[in-house]
C-alpha cells in the first residue's frame, strides 16, 4: 500500500473510475476515495457511464461527478473493476492518465497499473478504501463513512453473505460511530421494491407449486408477464428464494421465459442436494447449492424434465 500512498501524494489532478452498471460498492468506493482526496486538497473528478441509480442517490460526493472532455489527469484511480472492458467508454481516461492505480477485491483482475492492490479476502472494495484512507491519514468524515458503509452493506447483503468477515464488522463499527444514518441507508438499499418487482413477486407466488412431499418448490414467469411490466434484471433478483425459503423445501426451481420458448432456469438447494449436478444435465452449471441453465421448450415440458432430474437425487 506504500506505493499507492506515494503515487497519490504526488498527484494533484485525479480521475476516479469504476465499472459500468455501478452498484453500491462501486459508487461508495468511488465517492469515498474522491471525498478523501478532495479533503487532501486535490482536484478530483468522478467519471460515471450512467447516472447514479435512484436507490443510491443519497451518496455524498456527487458534486465531484464530471463529464470527460479529454483533459489530462496525472492520476486515474480505478476501483472495484477487474477488466478494462468493464470501464466502457471511460477506459480511455484510465489509459491516458500519467499514472494508474487499481484497487479491487475480485478474484480475477487483469488490470494494468502503476499501483495495483487486489485483496480477494475483502468483502467489498469499500473495506480496502477504508484502509487506504486511514493509511493516508485523512479523517473519515460522516460523508465518507456513509459511502463506505453503503459499499460494505451492498456487497455483503447486510453482513449476511459468506464473504462477510470479522473485519467487515470491525470497519462497520468504526463507520457507525461516525453518525452514519444506517437505518435510512438500509431502507433505501434493501427495502425498496419497484412496482414491476412487486407484480413479478405476486405472479411468482401465484405460480408456485410444491412437489415431492413439499421438498421441491417450482415457480415461473412467462414471457408476456415479464414484458407487461417492463422488468429490469434487478427485478428478478431473489425470486428463486421465494420457493427456497419456504419451510420444508430442499430444492427451488425458478423458470423465467427470457425469449418466447426459451427458459432460463435457476436452481437453489438448502441443505444437501447438488443442484450444479442437475444443471449440468441441461448444459448449465454453478455451485452445489446455486446453479442455473437455459433450455428451449414449452413450460410444462421444461418443468417435467427438470423435476424428473431432481426426483432422482432427493
What residue ranges bind a copy of itself (CB under 8 A)? 158-162, 164-170, 172-174, 176-177, 182-183, 186-187, 190-195, 198, 201-202, 205-206, 208, 214, 241-242, 244-248, 270
CB of residue 230 vs a copy of itself: minimum separation in angstroms?
Answer: 14
Choice between 141 and 294, CB closer to a copy of itself: 141
CB of residue 229 vs a copy of itself: minimum separation in angstroms?
Answer: 13
CB of residue 208 vs a copy of itself: minimum separation in angstroms?
Answer: 8
Check: CB of residue 243 under 8 Å from CB of residue 253: yes
Cα separation, 226 vs 295, whole angstroms: 17
CB of residue 259 vs a copy of itself: minimum separation in angstroms?
Answer: 27
Choice between 109 and 241, CB closer to a copy of itself: 241
65's grid cell: 461527478
Choice between 5 and 55, CB closer to a copy of itself: 55
Cα separation, 55 vs 36, whole angstroms: 23
204's grid cell: 411468482
Choice between 37 and 171, CB closer to a copy of itself: 171
> Taking Cα atoms as reference points, which of 260, 192, 193, 284 lies closest to residue 231?
193
Choice between 119 and 258, CB closer to a copy of itself: 119
Cα separation, 103 vs 112, whole angstroms: 11
CB of residue 62 vs a copy of itself: minimum separation in angstroms?
Answer: 20
Cβ neighbour number for residue 287 with a 10 Å cutoff = 13
Choice between 91 and 201, CB closer to a copy of itself: 201
Cα separation, 208 vs 217, whole angstroms: 7
CB of residue 188 vs a copy of itself: minimum separation in angstroms?
Answer: 10
Check: CB of residue 127 under 8 Å from CB of residue 167: yes
Choice between 246 and 262, CB closer to a copy of itself: 246
Choice between 66 and 199, CB closer to a copy of itself: 199
DSSP 8-state class, residue 51:
P
Check: CB of residue 135 under 8 Å from CB of residue 1: yes
Dihedral sign (CA 176, 155, 4, 143): negative
CB of residue 120 vs a copy of itself: minimum separation in angstroms?
Answer: 18
CB of residue 207 vs a copy of itself: minimum separation in angstroms?
Answer: 11
> What is the torsion angle, in degrees rounded to the nearest 10, for the CA atoms of residue 205, residue 211, residue 214 and residue 219?
-20
Placement of cell 435512484 in the chain: 54
Check: CB of residue 179 under 8 Å from CB of residue 215: no
CB of residue 267 vs a copy of itself: minimum separation in angstroms?
Answer: 17
DSSP 8-state class, residue 16:
E
Residue 303: strand, helix, or coil: helix
> What is the torsion angle, in degrees rounded to the nearest 10, for the CA atoms of residue 96, residue 4, residue 7 and residue 34?
70
Choice between 75 and 171, CB closer to a copy of itself: 171
Amino acid at each position: 500500500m506504500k506505493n499507492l500512498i506515494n503515487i497519490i501524494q504526488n498527484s494533484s489532478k485525479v480521475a476516479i473510475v469504476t465499472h459500468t452498471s455501478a452498484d453500491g460498492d462501486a459508487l461508495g468506493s468511488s465517492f469515498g476515495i474522491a471525498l478523501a482526496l478532495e479533503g487532501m486538497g486535490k482536484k478530483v473528478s468522478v467519471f460515471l457511464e450512467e447516472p447514479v441509480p435512484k436507490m443510491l442517490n443519497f451518496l455524498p460526493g456527487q458534486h465531484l461527478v464530471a463529464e470527460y472532455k479529454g483533459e489530462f489527469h496525472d492520476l486515474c484511480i480505478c476501483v472495484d473493476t477487474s477488466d478494462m472492458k468493464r470501464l466502457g467508454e471511460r477506459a480511455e481516461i484510465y489509459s491516458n492518465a500519467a499514472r494508474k492505480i487499481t484497487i479491487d477485491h475480485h478474484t480475477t483482475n487483469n488490470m494494468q497499473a502503476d499501483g495495483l492492490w487486489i485483496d480477494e479476502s475483502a468483502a467489498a472494495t469499500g473495506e480496502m478504501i477504508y484502509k487506504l484512507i486511514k493509511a493516508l491519514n485523512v479523517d473519515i468524515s460522516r460523508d465518507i463513512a456513509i459511502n463506505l458503509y453503503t459499499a460494505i452493506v451492498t456487497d455483503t447483503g447486510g453482513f449476511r453473505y459468506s464473504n462477510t468477515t470479522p473485519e467487515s464488522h470491525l470497519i462497520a463499527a468504526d463507520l457507525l460511530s461516525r453518525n452514519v444514518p444506517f437505518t435510512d441507508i438500509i431502507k433505501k438499499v434493501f427495502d425498496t421494491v419497484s412496482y414491476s418487482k412487486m407484480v413479478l413477486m405476486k405472479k411468482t407466488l401465484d405460480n408456485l407449486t410444491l412437489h415431492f412431499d413439499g421438498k421441491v418448490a417450482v415457480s415461473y414467469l412467462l414471457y408476456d408477464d415479464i414484458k407487461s411490466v417492463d422488468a429490469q434484471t434487478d427485478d428478478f433478483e431473489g425470486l428463486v428464494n421465494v420457493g427456497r425459503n419456504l419451510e420444508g423445501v430442499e430444492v427451488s426451481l425458478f423458470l423465467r421465459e427470457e425469449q418466447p420458448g426459451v427458459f432460463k432456469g435457476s436452481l437453489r438447494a438448502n441443505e444437501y442436494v447438488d443442484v450444479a449436478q442437475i444443471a449440468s444435465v441441461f448444459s448449465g452449471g454453478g455451485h452445489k447449492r446455486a446453479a442455473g441453465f437455459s433450455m428451449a421448450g414449452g413450460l410444462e415440458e421444461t418443468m417435467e424434465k427438470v423435476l424428473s432430474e431432481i426426483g432422482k437425487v432427493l
